[in-house]
Structure 1
Amino acid sequence: MLDANLKQQLSTYLQNVTQPIEITANVDDGAKSAEMRTLLNDIASLTDKITVFETRDAEVRVPSFAINRKGASMGVRFAGIPMGHEFTSLVLALLQVGGHPPKVEADVIAQIKAIEGQFDFVTYISLSCQNCPEVVQALNLMATLNPNVRHTMVDGALFQDEVERNKILAVPSVYLNGEVFGQGRTSLKEIVAKLDTGAAARDAAKIADKDAFDVLIVGGGPAGAAAAIYAARKGVRTGVVSERFGGQVMDTMAIENFISVKETEGPKLAAALEQHVKQYEVDVMDGQRAEALIPGELNEVRLASGATVKAKAIILATGARWREMNVPGEREYRGRGVAYCPHCDGPLFKGKRVAVVGGGNSGVEAAIDLAGIVAQVTLLEFGSELRADAVLQAKLKSLPNVTIHTDAQTTEVTGADGKVNALVYTDRTTGQSHTVALEGVFVQIGLLPNTDWLKGVVDLSKHGEIEVNARGETSVPGVFAAGDATTVPYKQIIIAMGEGSKAALSAFDHLIRSSVPHEAASTV
């Protein structure tokens, strides 16, 4: 099951296990149970700290296994075979159940341990989902720290009957005590905050008590991280306010054009960015959404929590989000057939019919990926021709289960019984309306800048992008901007990092010049 290289790596990690672990596997005579048995035995062979037992309990998902510290019930279970992106979740669970301390702030650990009540979580995932491990790992950690919390990861592709019964068409989907708790990537702090209802108020009070920063960065994506590093290296008091550190990079699967790094994945890059930022004296305030910018001698950023943060210079790096079609049915069936991440949700549509809306690189790549999973892909492009690179178009057109419609304007997503059942589009050349029967719609039509909260404060382009000059300056003195939220062309990670660095240098220059008395400056 595990190759020699992976066994060697895992053996090294398992040296950190200090407490004996018991893995209880619930199996039958099927092939998947045999596969899971091989995986668990491979793991147990690498350390004398792990013992594997088998049960045959009809009341428990098969195949599945629970990980417990000997003599304790930690509430961590995997239903399925956690390979792919979830292999890291398995390794971390083994380490944490085995007594290795988690890399989490002490106050967060204390907050988790103090949560009262009974919480039985189930997370439906796909092994190709890069957003799922963060949720799985967060809930597993909570289960190891608090005996009131239990968590089961369920591979949706393996337990399709259960997925169909619950009408789950997007991952990760989290249920708490049998009811929907959340969907999509969610951080540990966000989950804890939902359970600990007083957390938001406490965080807001802490933030409100902070002294003014020299430089405050709004946004924790590549541009924001680069700006934070460059500002902190100048020795100025630096803060970062972010709704989700890593930004949209967290939703990116393969990154193959980041210079000097042959290939990586979004979550890995985001984690590296966060580690780099934390090497400096940067005050990172994660899980905070900015609602208003109030310029002044000390600029203010008002947060959704009610707190206000002040700074001499502001760098706006709020990034962008997936553009919506804004047609009837899209929002109603989001997570019920309408999706935006083919890597995450594609496996849930195995053998079904789907549409991809968008003929750029993202749309064509999504259609190619999905064609290897689903029964039929229909790609719809608003323009008269596809906009993707020629090599991608050639690959797409070679696939037998792909149909392409250009000059196609999507007008509606329809459904029944809470799930998508069709997409309606208009042929822009004939004006005729067509209905495509299907089970899923993947929207890939570009990005929208996260700048709604800045309207009327800084100058925005007709596309809602923050207008900046070559120095990253906005229309407001002391306020700078960088990354995908700005008018700078080509929305690329490496460009965003460069622009974030430049904005920080410009902000530092602004601090120096604004601190020089007018009389002294005029004699220089």
Structure 2
Amino acid sequence: MLDAHLKAQLKAYLEKVTQPIEIVASLDDSAKSAELNELLEEITALSDQITLVRRDDNERKPSFAINRVGSDIGVRFAGIPMGHEFTSLVLALLQVGGHPSKTAADVIEQVKNLNGPAPDGVLRFETYFSLSCQNCPDVVQALNLMSVLNPKIQHVAIDGALYQDEVDARQVMSVPTVYLNGEVFDQGRMSLEQILARLDTGAAQREAEKIKTKDAFDVLVVGGGPAGSAAAIYAARKGIRTGVAAERFGGQVLDTMAIENFVSVGYTEGPKLATALEQHVKDYDVDIMNLQRAEKLLPATEAGGLIELQLANGATLKSKTVILSTGARWRQMGVPGEDEYRNKGVAYCPHCDGPLFKGKRVAVIGGGNSGVEAAIDLAGITSHVTLVEFDSKLRADDVLQRKLRSLPNVDIIVSALSTEVLGDGQKVSGLVYKDRVDGVMHTLELEGIFVQIGLLPNTEWLKGTLELSPRGEIVIDERGQTSLPGVFAAGDATTVPYKQIVIAMGAGSTAALSAFDHLIRSPLLVAETEKEAVAA
């Protein structure tokens, strides 16, 4: 299964294993079991520290456990972790094998102190993933690490496409979906810190108390996507006190599959780029405050000369300048039933959730590039795709439209206004739309709806504070200056016309340089500098 190059890379990684590992395979006579056995035999042959045994006593076949010999430390995969999950497999081998994690010491200690409910205090996690899901590895890797660090935490990662009957029985329609002790814990991308915040209920308040003690920043960046990361790097390189408050470091990039237009990089994927952005920011003296949602911005005139940012946890940050880079999120249809059936048939990521709809009928809402690309991808998985577009024609590139129209299991409906998502209380059963030409209402019978109709800026919390466009975007000039002195903005939340990663990075850099220019021309900073000179 593994080519020579991949085997050589894996062998080099496995040299870091310091504790003996036992891989315990549970197999049957299926082709997938034979495929998994081949993979495990190839892995075992690469390290003297790894042995392979077979015990067909697990309820899920094919599956395998990676256990540290002589301990109760281990993780389990139900499926064949290739594709996006191959990295999860490699990390599991290393961590079970004694290679230390690079996770912060305080986070590791927090994991070790977790306990589950009575009577045994065990936290039993199950994660349903798909091999094409770029959001799933973060969740799988976080829970695997937790099970290695704490014997009272158990985790099994399950390939939903391989265990379709189980997925149908539990009505899993979105990945990653995480169960804890048999009940749904959460859905969607989660970092280790986010999972801990859900489990350790006192963590948010402890973090808020810590934030309250922080001194004022010279530049405070709100948001940790491409624009925020670039702004933080450019500000920190000026040697000034820089902080980043982000609800989710990486932002919308974390939900992006293939990136092929990032100049000088032929191909990358969103999660990889987000990891690189965070690491680059950490190379500088930047105070990163993750999982922090901004709720209110107070101009300097209302806050004693410093701009204030109020957070959802009750803490307040102060800064001489602020750069807003809060990005955008998927636009919703805004029709009855959409919220009720979110992750129960209504989805926003065809790459992630598409495999869960194998052989089913689905609709794609939106006729731009994203919608047409989603329909093309889903046509290879589902039994039928109906693309529904509000306009009288598709807006996607011609090459994509030609490809879409060549597919035999795709219908295209234009001039259609989606009005309602139908369901049986548990999952989606249909979509109602109105023909905008003759006004006739129609119902599509289907089991999945993928919404691809663009983005909305994350700026609701700024209404009434500074100037926003009719679309809710932060109005900025060519320097990134907003309508408030000392407050700058960059990226997809602003009036910059093209929402692209490379443009957001440039805008973030511009905003940081503008903030620095504002600082060095500020009377407050000049006065402080003169005071320091006299004291010296």
Q: Which runs of 5+ in 1 are unaligned?
A: none
Cα distance between partner residues in 2 of 1:206 and 1:454: 25
CA shift for structure 1 position 60: 2.2
Q: Give yes or no for contact 1:63–1:79 (8 Å, CA) kept in 2.
A: yes
- Matching residue's letter, 2:287: D
**Residue 139 (structure 1) aligns with:** 143
Q: Give yes or no for contact 2:68–2:74 (8 Å, CA) kept in 1.
A: no
Deviations 1:406-429 (A, max 9, x none): 101100110114010111111100
Q: 2:156 aligns with which of 145, 152, 155?
A: 152
- Matching residue's letter, 1:64: S
Query: Secondary structure of the residue that 1:302 maps to in structure 2?
Result: strand
Q: How do 1:73-152 and structure 2 match up within 5 A?
A: 73-117=72-116, 118-152=122-156
Q: How do 1:425-464 and structure 2 match up within 5 A?
A: 425-464=433-472
Q: Give yes or no for contact 1:75–1:149 (8 Å, CA) kept in 2.
A: no
Cα distance between partner residues in 2 of 1:325 and 1:512: 46
4+ residue segments displaced more than 4 Å: none
Cα distance between partner residues in 2 of 1:517 and 1:462: 40
Identity percentage of aligned residues:
70
Query: Secondary structure of the residue that 1:91 maps to in structure 2?
Result: helix
CA shift for structure 1 position 75: 3.9
**Which of 342-351 and 113-122 deviates more?**
113-122
Cα distance between partner residues in 2 of 1:100 and 1:56: 29
Q: Give yes or no for contact 1:220–1:241 (8 Å, CA) kept in 2.
A: yes
Q: Give yes or no for contact 1:121–1:176 (8 Å, CA) kept in 2.
A: yes
Calculate the TM-score normalised by the size of structure 2: 0.96
Query: Secondary structure of the residue that 1:275 maps to in structure 2?
Result: helix
Deviations 1:137-170 (A, max 9, x none): 0000000000110000000000000000001100
CA shift for structure 1 position 516: 3.0
- Matching residue's letter, 1:98: G
Deviations 1:470-510 (A, max 9, x none): 00000000000000000000100000000000000000000
CA shift for structure 1 position 197: 1.1
Q: Give yes or no for contact 1:293–1:457 (8 Å, CA) kept in 2.
A: yes
Q: Give yes or no for contact 2:74–2:96 (8 Å, CA) kept in 1.
A: no
Q: How do 1:20-419 and structure 2 match up within 5 A?
A: 20-57=20-57, 59-117=58-116, 118-296=122-300, 297-419=305-427
- Matching residue's letter, 1:265: E
Query: Secondary structure of the residue that 2:467 maps to in structure 1?
Result: coil
Cα distance between partner residues in 1 of 2:380 and 2:53: 37
For the aligned residues, what is the CA RMSD?
Answer: 1.0
Q: Give yes or no for contact 2:324–2:489 (8 Å, CA) kept in 1.
A: yes
1:516 and 2:526 are equivalent in the alignment: yes
Q: Give yes or no for contact 1:253–1:266 (8 Å, CA) kept in 2.
A: yes
Deviations 1:274-328 (A, max 9, x none): 1111000001001111111111111111111111111100000000000000001
Q: Which runs of 5+ in 2 are unaligned?
A: 117-121, 531-536
CA shift for structure 1 position 56: 1.2
Query: Secondary structure of the residue that 1:516 maps to in structure 2?
Result: helix
Aligned length: 518
Cα distance between partner residues in 2 of 1:55 and 1:417: 40
Deviations 1:5-24 (A, max 9, x none): 11011111111111110110
Q: Give yes or no for contact 2:62–2:79 (8 Å, CA) kept in 1.
A: yes
CA shift for structure 1 position 103: 1.3
CA shift for structure 1 position 194: 1.1
Deviations 1:366-411 (A, max 9, x none): 0011011111000011001101111111111111111001101100
Deviations 1:15-72 (A, max 9, x none): 1111110110111111111111001111111110111110111x52111111111111
Q: Give yes or no for contact 2:323–2:487 (8 Å, CA) kept in 1.
A: yes
**Residue 431 (structure 2) aligns with:** 423
Cα distance between partner residues in 1 of 2:340 and 2:197: 26
Cα distance between partner residues in 1 of 2:17 and 2:248: 31
Cα distance between partner residues in 1 of 2:411 and 2:49: 54
Query: Secondary structure of the residue that 1:216 maps to in structure 2?
Result: strand
Query: Secondary structure of the residue that 1:150 maps to in structure 2?
Result: strand
Query: Secondary structure of the residue that 2:521 maps to in structure 1?
Result: helix
Calculate the TM-score normalised by the size of structure 1: 0.98
**Residue 8 (structure 1) aligns with:** 8
Deviations 1:196-227 (A, max 9, x none): 11111111111111101100000000000000
Query: Secondary structure of the residue that 2:322 maps to in structure 1?
Result: strand
- Matching residue's letter, 1:13: Y
Cα distance between partner residues in 2 of 1:178 and 1:398: 44
**Residue 502 (structure 1) aligns with:** 510
Cα distance between partner residues in 1 of 2:102 and 2:295: 31
- Matching residue's letter, 2:45: S
